[in-house]
Amino acid sequence: MPEPAPTVDVLTRTGAVRGRWRGAPGTPGASAAFLGIPFAEPPVGGLRFAAPEPARPWEGVRDALEHGPTPQRGDPGVTIIPEPSVPGESTLNVDVFTPTPSTDVRSDGPTDSVGLPVLVWFHGGGYVAGSPASPWYDGRTFNRDGVVTVNVSYRLGFDGFGWIDGAPPNRGVLDWLLALEWVRDNVAAFGGDPGRVTIAGQSAGGGAVLTLLGMPRAQGLFQRVWAVSPALADVSPERAQAFARRIGELGGIRPDLDGLRSLSEERIRQLQREALRPARGARGAGADLVSEGLPLGPVVDGHLVPAATPSSLASGVGTGVPLVLGTTDDEFSSAFRGSEARLRLVTRKAALKRLGLLEPRRTEWLEANRGEGLRGTAAVLGRYVSDHVFRAPLVRVVAARELGATVAAADGAAPAATWAYRFSWRSPVSGAAVHCLDVPFLFDVLSEGHVPAVAGARPPQGLADRLHADIVAFVRGADPAWPTAAGEAFPARVYGSTIATVPDAYASARPLAGV
């Protein structure tokens, strides 16, 4: 039997935690993992559907050797990213990965020492699923490159984002804020610098970091943002309330705090699935995203989230924070895979009209995507869903940042820049640069067991080296080595079989952006 890896204790403000070394301490590439550290009390009992409460102090040393409980429950089914569920009540926790844990940091305040830059990662999953315990999110490669990494857990689905009369809205957003406050107050104990925090995330996690960038209350908790395929929700109060009423109707209860607390956690998940099912209909989940948007996610409540994210950014919120954002080329292009025969006799214009794309924008978009049209109506619809959900919103965010920079400059402030990129490498498995394909490249974990199912047996390590090195450099404080995203036809770095800067890199999505 091999000897177990040595452990290491760190003192946080709420108590000591015990992590485990991966690699011999002091050797190149060694780092320590502290898993499942609670930043909030378990959201159960009287705290169910309540704002998160900071974790209470504990006595002695708390083991942080295994992943903590996840808000995602049960088997999520087949997902591109491996997303394990962990049972338990204390679901609001963080995982910390560090090459330099400190054993002498005071727990009653920050230190004067300068630590390593910090990457805080928010997982995706459409705001209803996902897990911070994915092996793809292990921070060891960032530790190898001198970056402390923190993975955040937050309430999902109706628990985190459902509208409930008598309960605070945006409970999942409040979880994000409290986790970032925990990082501010505790990351120095793990060798990190609370003044050099980059927040990053993919899909819903990318939407999360853009939402935080546009929130006045979140300013100062991070200094840089990297958004991967950001899926902004910006749910209207009317849509959130309608979804809550649907949950109440299905469950036979009033959609208020007392009524919903009368239902078990599992029952609400069942009702949530049932409430979502009719909206998907026969056209597929991609069409649902186009016609109605996400029903669960950050709600524009007028207070915590005062405005839709592009509007908030255009008003000048977050202009001092450098931003990198990008998408894959074929995010949801497979949404209509399997429908080719059924759609063969349907014209592209008629199919797009059913999804709500009308003239003159329809003709403009088809002209910009003429090459996709040669592949048939199903391929056109898949491209449209990708553009509508991910790529056109990116164009709107870039435009909003330019407006915000103008506002900041008029007020005498110095606005920060924005950079865009595209991930274009096509996997031999799918023949496309699909949603989530870029994540193992970003984390430089191509050797993980699940990666070949998505990226093939021999994904290009050189591409991972470049993409990972670029985010590491950004987290360390360097500006990206390609032109900023400025002007209507802005350039972007394209990560593909070759890596190059492309002018007007989002031209195909621009007709949908409305800017």
Neighbours of 487 (CB within 10 A): 12
> Rounded to the nearest 5°, which phi and psi values hold at 339?
-105, 10
Q: Which helix (H) or strand (E) holds 21?
A: strand 15-22
Torsional class of 66: left (φ above 0), alpha (ψ -120 to 50), beta (otherwise):
beta
Integer Cα distance of 96 and 139 in angstroms: 8
Neighbours of 285 (CB within 10 A): 15
Three-state SS annotation for 240-290:
HHHHHHHHHHHHCCCCEHHHHHCCCHHHHHHHHHHHHHHHHCCCCHHHHHH
**Residues comprising the chain, all counted:** 515
| Positions of E strands within 461-506 | 492-495, 499-502
Contacting residues for 394 by C-beta, under 8 A, at least 6 apart: 230, 325, 326, 327, 420, 506, 509
Contacting residues for 42 by C-beta, under 8 A, at least 6 apart: 89, 90, 91, 92
Where in the sequence numbering do the catalytic residues fall? 203, 331, 435
Integer Cα distance of 233 and 447 in angstroms: 33
Question: What is the full DSSP assignment across 445-468?
Answer: -TTSTTTHHHH-SS--HHHHHHHH
